Each structure stands twice: as structure tokens, then as C-alpha cells.
């Protein structure tokens, strides 16, 4: 029983297995590997001719790779990225289907063009041929088999280097380190380049927003945080929204901040998300000395918390409302809220309502 050689099996699926010599004819495999298309010459091609054909195929393969890359970039930047919200709003299987269809179209277009060009090249240099189904020869060419193994090793090394690089180097962490060193202009350059390469990564805009704020480019910071917020969909998302609110708070654009809060509350995806924005809005109203408006919101949130709304922490809400009552000089109600929250010494109680602050990363957000 013949032993199975995995390398030989892989070789027969590789571009290096591009010809098969029979008794009176030679078949060249097309670049259209998916359909095993072959070109049958009614003669045995010489070794020199085989080498020339390999050179032609190699050029066509390289052109195909470049062509696929260009089409893929065009697909990303002309369709997928501009319509990113279309993909976000769909279920994963709808997105997967759309991507598969797009990739299938790109792949079919590429291999069809490449195959046609190869056919013209072969015809002009080696004469007439007929299209047949390509079947690999039992005999393996040692020269191209050795080439296959060397290319395979190069590929494995390249993959290992990429994995190693991504494990020990993160462009986001590098940009954040530049910010830590107050190299804000350099951080903006890196983030801007990263945003051009991968414009759907919210981290680029968040980092650039932080650097822009430090350089007093406040409007740019607001635009960056808004972009990061629109692209993300988790706690990092809320952090970016809070950062945008902070910049407006810093600029005393309270009306603009209120408009942002009201828009997000109206368009929240869930009750939990709406509660988060209501709570943030209540704290913002307190910090802008709109105590009566803040009190109305805390009353609403506490009622929700009493109805087993898990996200809303009742004790925390009572403590924050107590502080609002204190500012309104309703000390008895403040004391009652503190006692309800389980704190007996009101005088030693510190203000639990945080002021808006600029956050750089998720660690800052969670501590906040």
C-alpha cells in the first residue's frame, strides 16, 4: 500500500503543478484553478518551453494577486467602509452572505481576466491548443516540487512573523504610548494614517480625539469622538460619547451637550442603554447647576430602579439624589436618601456625582 505524502498532495493543488506530460501531448493548467481548466498542446513540450511557460504563469499569478488586492481595496473603500452602518445593522449571517457574494464576484472576475490573458499569451508563443479538463500527472517534476517546498517554507515563516508581530506589537498601544509621552502631534499622524488604512476602527479616532484635545483642537476632538462613538458598540462606545460630552462641557457648550443626550435617549437601542444616557444626563445637569432638572431625572431613575432594573444601582442613585437635595437646601430629604442608601454619617459623606472627565482608555472608563 502506497504511503500518503501530504506535501505531494499539497503540491498538486499548488501553482507549481502547472503541467502534465502524456505520450503525445502536454496539458498546461490555467490560472483558473477553481475549475481545473487545462490547455492541451498536441505535442510534448520541451523542458525549455516548460520553463518559459512557468515564467509566463508566474507573471500572470503576480498580476492576479495585485489585481485582487486593488479590487479588494476598491471594494473596502468604495462600498464596505462608506456603507459600514448597513453591515452593522444586519445580522451576522446577512453580513457573511453579502461578503461571500462580493468576494465571489471579485474572485470570478479576476480569474476570468487572468485566464483569458494567459490563453492569448500561450497561443502567440506556443501555437494552437484545445481546452480540456486538467488532471495532474503521476510523475512529479523534482525541480518544481523543490520550488514548491521552498515557497511553502517562506510562507510559513511569513505567517509566523505576522503572528509574532501582532502578538508583541499593537499600533493602538504604540499610539497611546506617544500620547503618554505628550507627543500629541506624532500620535495624530499615526492615528490619521491608521484611520485611512482601517477607517472602521474606532480606536484611531478615540486616540486622535484625545491628542487633538490636548493640542486645543477642540472641534476636531469632538468630530473624532463622535466618529469613534458611531463606529463602536460596547462600553468603549459609551466612553467615546462621554468624552465628546466632556469637550462640550469644557467649552461650556451645554446646549450642544443636551442635544446629544436627548438624541441618544430618543434613539437608544435598549432600555438599559436609555437608562445609561439618562443617568449620565442627570449627572451632567448636576455639574452644570441645573439642580431641579437633575432632580426630576433622579426621581425617574429611582422609580425604575425600584422596579428591579438591574443596571440601575439604587443605593448609588439615592446618594446622588441626596447631593442634589443638598444643593437645593432640602437637607431633610437629603438625609433621608442617605439613610435609605445605608449611610448613617451624612456629614462625612463625599459627593458621589463625578464631574465630566476626559478618558483615554477603557481602564480609565471603568475606574470612572
Sign of CA dihedral 328, 333, 335, 337: negative
The per-residue pLDDT of the chain, averaged, comes to 84
Percent of the chain past pLDDT 70, that is, above it, reads: 86
pLDDT, tens digit (0-9, with 9 covering 90-100), for 173-185: 889 999 999 999 9
Long-range contacts (CB closer than 8 Å, 24 or more residues apart) made by 57-66:
57/15, 57/18, 57/28, 57/31, 57/118, 58/15, 60/31, 60/114, 60/117, 60/118, 60/121, 61/15, 61/31, 61/114, 63/114, 63/117, 64/31, 64/110, 64/111, 64/114
347 vs 292, higher pLDDT: 292
Write the pLDDT tens digit of every residue in 328-355: 999 999 999 888 887 655 554 555 788 8
Residue 329, sorted as left (phi over 0), alpha (psi -120 to 50) or beta, turns out to be left
What pLDDT, in 10s, does the model give residues 248-278? Answer: 999 999 999 999 999 999 988 888 888 889 9
Domains assigned to the chain: 18-139 (no CATH), 171-367 (1.25.40.10)
User: DSSP assignment, residue 14?
Assistant: S
- The residues facing 38 across adjacent strands are 29, 132
What average pLDDT does range 14-35 have in this prediction?
A: 83
Note the pTM of the prediction, 2 decimals: 0.64
Contact assessment for residue 95 and residue 87, using Cβ atoms and an 8 Å cutoff: yes
pLDDT for residue 368: 44
On the CB side of 163, how many CA atoms lie within 13 Å of its CA? Answer: 6
pLDDT of amino acid 287: 95
Q: Going by DSSP bridges, is the β-strand pair 19-21/130-133 parallel, antiparallel, or unpaired?
A: unpaired
The residues near 170 (Cβ < 8 Å, ≥ 6 apart) are none
Q: What are phi and psi of 292, to 5 degrees?
A: -65, -40
CA–CA separation, 39 and 28 (whole Å): 5
Res 129 pLDDT > 90: yes
Amino acid at each position: 500500500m502506497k504511503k500518503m505524502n501530504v506535501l505531494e498532495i499539497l503540491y498538486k493543488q499548488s501553482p507549481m503543478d502547472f503541467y502534465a506530460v502524456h505520450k503525445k501531448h502536454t496539458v498546461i493548467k490555467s490560472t483558473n484553478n477553481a475549475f481545473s481548466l487545462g490547455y492541451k498542446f498536441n505535442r510534448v513540450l520541451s523542458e525549455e518551453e516548460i520553463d518559459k511557460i512557468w515564467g509566463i504563469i508566474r507573471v500572470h499569478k503576480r498580476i492576479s494577486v495585485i489585481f485582487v488586492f486593488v479590487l479588494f481595496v476598491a471594494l473596502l473603500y468604495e462600498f464596505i467602509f462608506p456603507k459600514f452602518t448597513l453591515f452593522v445593522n444586519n445580522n451576522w449571517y446577512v453580513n457573511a452572505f453579502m461578503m461571500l457574494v462580493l468576494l465571489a464576484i471579485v474572485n470570478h472576475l479576476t480569474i476570468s481576466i487572468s485566464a483569458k490573458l494567459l490563453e492569448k499569451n500561450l497561443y502567440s508563443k506556443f501555437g494552437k491548443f484545445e481546452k480540456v479538463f486538467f488532471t495532474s500527472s503521476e510523475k512529479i517534476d523534482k525541480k518544481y516540487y523543490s520550488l514548491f517546498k521552498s515557497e511553502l517554507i517562506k510562507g510559513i515563516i511569513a505567517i509566523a512573523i505576522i503572528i509574532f508581530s501582532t502578538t508583541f506589537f499593537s499600533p493602538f498601544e504604540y499610539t497611546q504610548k506617544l500620547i503618554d509621552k505628550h507627543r500629541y502631534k506624532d500620535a495624530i499622524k499615526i492615528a490619521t494614517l491608521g484611520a485611512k488604512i482601517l477607517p472602521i476602527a474606532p480606536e484611531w479616532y478615540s486616540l486622535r480625539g484625545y491628542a487633538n484635545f490636548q493640542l486645543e483642537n477642540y472641534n476636531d476632538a469632538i468630530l473624532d469622538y463622535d466618529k469613534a462613538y458611531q463606529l463602536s458598540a460596547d462600553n468603549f462606545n459609551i466612553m467615546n460619547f462621554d468624552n465628546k460630552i466632556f469637550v462640550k462641557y469644557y467649552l461650556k457648550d451645554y446646549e450642544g451637550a443636551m442635544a446629544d443626550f436627548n438624541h441618544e435617549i430618543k434613539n437608544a437601542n435598549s432600555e438599559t442603554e436609555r437608562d445609561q444616557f439618562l443617568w449620565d444626563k442627570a449627572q451632567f445637569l448636576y455639574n452644570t447647576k441645573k439642580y431641579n432638572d437633575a432632580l426630576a431625572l433622579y426621581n425617574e431613575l429611582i422609580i425604575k430602579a425600584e422596579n428591579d432594573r438591574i443596571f440601575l444601582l439604587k443605593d448609588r442613585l439615592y446618594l446622588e439624589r441626596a447631593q442634589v437635595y443638598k444643593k437645593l437646601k432640602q437637607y431633610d430629604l437629603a438625609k433621608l436618601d442617605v439613610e435609605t442608601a445605608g449611610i448613617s454619617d451624612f456629614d462625612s459623606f463625599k459627593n458621589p456625582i463625578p464631574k465630566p472627565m476626559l478618558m483615554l482608555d477603557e481602564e480609565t472608563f471603568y475606574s470612572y
